[in-house]
């Protein structure tokens, strides 16, 4: 019986000739990731271990990105804990203020993730790196602790769903619209503990930033991971950003999939997830009422990359954020921030009346830099819109692409760029 792309990667990491769905394996890890929220828990767990030290100081990444620069005493204590741990164990890839970025944008940019890798991270959106043909998935902090100590992790081999992508997206339709459409189609548990494998000729019409966005939100459909084939675009990205060797795995022709879907990218429209689940989607033409907003957030590990900022800037250039609306733009890394500055994008944002923040996850999880009060609504390029996700339990978060978020910031209500004549 043939194996999927994910199953082949896991078989190799477990030193087995083959694996099948449901099988329990112990696999070698290429990278273990933690942030300023999840790492302290893992570090305190490691204090209970009899084993001293970490398995490989070069294969651990600690990224201070959620509450950095420290928003309060508690966050300062968490960061101090991780900072001391990194110094004690001489962790190579420790990223603090000035060097850090939002982890799931920073690690590929820094060349730490490549095709064929097995990566765990104590953050649910670790599945982002599947865009490069890696197996990456989120785990709990205790699993992170075990991974840092041993370089290994237990997995149940997932079954898979294949998404055959065809066609080419229209103007203003991006990876965010693709994944919101899919989540709306299958539901937030539609891919529960399964690998979401994206294939087809339509893949070539998606940028790397599109693919990162789609893989990032696989978890929002319940997926164990999302993964893309390694084509010329992915190889070019890895060669530009990484010195590490990569390994390409391809699914067998007779690989078994639980379900298969064909997604025509050319038929997709700008899509918005209404409160309070990512599956509660509507295309822009299905929104018949005026959804007035108080805030627009453009950023996060989902949509804070340079393509996202360029898209938002194209819409905001020469326009103003509507009075009464707060527009917050967050470049995902320092490199992206610098590139946006050099391209004049930051000038465009500021002249439009937006604020530009240091890289941070802050507003996405209701941490800081954009907390909502009771009754407020936010259009956001983030990945979750659960009750109370961005602030008060009686606030509302609407998930959308950078194009829709930027256009909505101008009109003060949820709309697509065509409402501005674009």
Of 231, 246, 264, the residue that ends a domain is: 264
Of 264, 284, 310, the residue that ends a domain is: 264
Structure tokens, 32? 């273990």
Q: Which of 409, 382, 377, 407 is nearest to 394 (CA)?
A: 377
Sheet holding 259-264, edge to edge: 225-227, 195-199, 160-166, 259-264
Q: Are residues 215 and 352 in the same domain?
A: no
Of 204, 230, 264, the residue that ends a domain is: 264
pLDDT at residue 281, rounded to an integer: 97
Cis, peptide link before residue 276, omega less than 30° from 0: yes
Q: Are residues 54 and 203 in the same domain?
A: yes
Q: Are residues 20 and 140 in the same domain?
A: yes
Q: Are residues 73 and 145 in the same domain?
A: yes
pLDDT at residue 117, rounded to an integer: 98
pLDDT at residue 124, rounded to an integer: 95
pLDDT at residue 121, rounded to an integer: 97
Q: Are residues 252 and 300 in the same domain?
A: no
* Cα angle value 248/249/253 (rounded, 5°): 140
pLDDT at residue 324, rounded to an integer: 96
Q: Are residues 302 and 198 in the same domain?
A: no
Q: Are residues 188 and 77 in the same domain?
A: yes
Q: Which structural domain, as residue segments, surrounds residue 330?
A: 271-420
Helix axes 141-150, 39-46, angle to 10 degrees: 60
CB atoms within 10 A of CB 361: 29
Q: Are residues 282 and 411 in the same domain?
A: yes
Q: Are residues 198 and 309 in the same domain?
A: no
Our count of domains for the chain comes to 2
CATH of the domain at 358: 3.30.499.10
Q: Are residues 206 and 314 in the same domain?
A: no
Q: Are residues 343 and 252 in the same domain?
A: no
Q: Which of 98, 97, 135, 101 is nearest to 115 (CA)?
A: 135
* pTM listed for this prediction: 0.96
pLDDT at residue 290, rounded to an integer: 96
Residues of the chain with pLDDT under 50: none
Q: Are residues 392 and 281 in the same domain?
A: yes
Each residue of 74-117: pLDDT tens digit?
999 999 999 999 999 999 999 999 999 999 999 999 999 999 99
């Amino acid at each position: 019986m043939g194996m999927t792309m994910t199953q082949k990667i896991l078989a190799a990491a477990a030193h087995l000739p083959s694996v099948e769905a449901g099988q329990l394996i112990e696999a070698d890890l290429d990278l273990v990731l933690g942030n300023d929220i999840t790492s302290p828990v893992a570090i305190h767990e490691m204090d209970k271990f009899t084993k001293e030290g970490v398995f490989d100081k070069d294969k651990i990444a600690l990224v201070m990105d959620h509450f950095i620069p420290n928003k309060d005493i508690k966050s300062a204590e968490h960061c101090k804990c991780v900072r001391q741990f990194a110094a004690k164990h001489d962790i190579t890839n420790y990223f603090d203020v000035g060097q850090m970025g939002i982890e799931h944008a920073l690690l590929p940019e820094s060349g730490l993730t490549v095709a064929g890798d097995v990566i765990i991270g104590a953050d649910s959106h670790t599945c982002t790196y599947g865009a490069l043909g890696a197996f990456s998935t989120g785990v709990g902090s205790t699993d992170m602790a075990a991974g840092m100590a041993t370089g290994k992790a237990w997995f149940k081999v997932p079954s898979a769903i294949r998404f055959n992508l065809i066609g080419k997206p229209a103007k203003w339709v991006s990876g965010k619209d693709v994944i919101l459409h899919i989540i709306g189609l299958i539901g937030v548990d539609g891919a529960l503990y399964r690998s979401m494998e994206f294939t087809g000729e339509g893949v070539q019409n998606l940028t790397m930033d599109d693919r990162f966005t789609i893989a990032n939100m696989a978890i929002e459909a319940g997926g164990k991971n999302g993964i893309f084939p390694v084509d010329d675009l992915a190889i070019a990205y890895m060669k530009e950003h990484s010195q590490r060797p990569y390994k390409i795995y391809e699914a067998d022709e007779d690989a078994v999939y639980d379900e298969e879907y064909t997604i025509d990218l050319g038929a997709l429209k700008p899509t918005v997830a209404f409160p309070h689940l990512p599956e509660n989607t509507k295309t822009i033409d299905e929104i018949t009422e005026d959804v007035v907003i108080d805030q627009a957030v453009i950023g996060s590990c989902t949509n804070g990359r340079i393509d996202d900022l360029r898209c938002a800037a194209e819409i905001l250039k020469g326009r103003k954020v509507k009075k009464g609306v707060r527009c917050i733009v967050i470049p995902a890394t320092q490199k992206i921030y610098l590139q946006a500055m050099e391209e004049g994008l930051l000038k465009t944002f500021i002249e439009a009346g937006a604020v530009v923040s240091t890289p941070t996850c802050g507003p996405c999880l209701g941490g800081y830099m954009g907390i909502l009060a009771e009754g407020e609504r936010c259009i956001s390029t983030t990945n979750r819109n659960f009750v109370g996700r961005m602030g008060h339990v009686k606030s509302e978060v609407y998930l959308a692409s950078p194009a829709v978020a930027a256009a909505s910031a101008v009109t003060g209500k949820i709309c697509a760029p065509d409402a501005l004549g674009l």
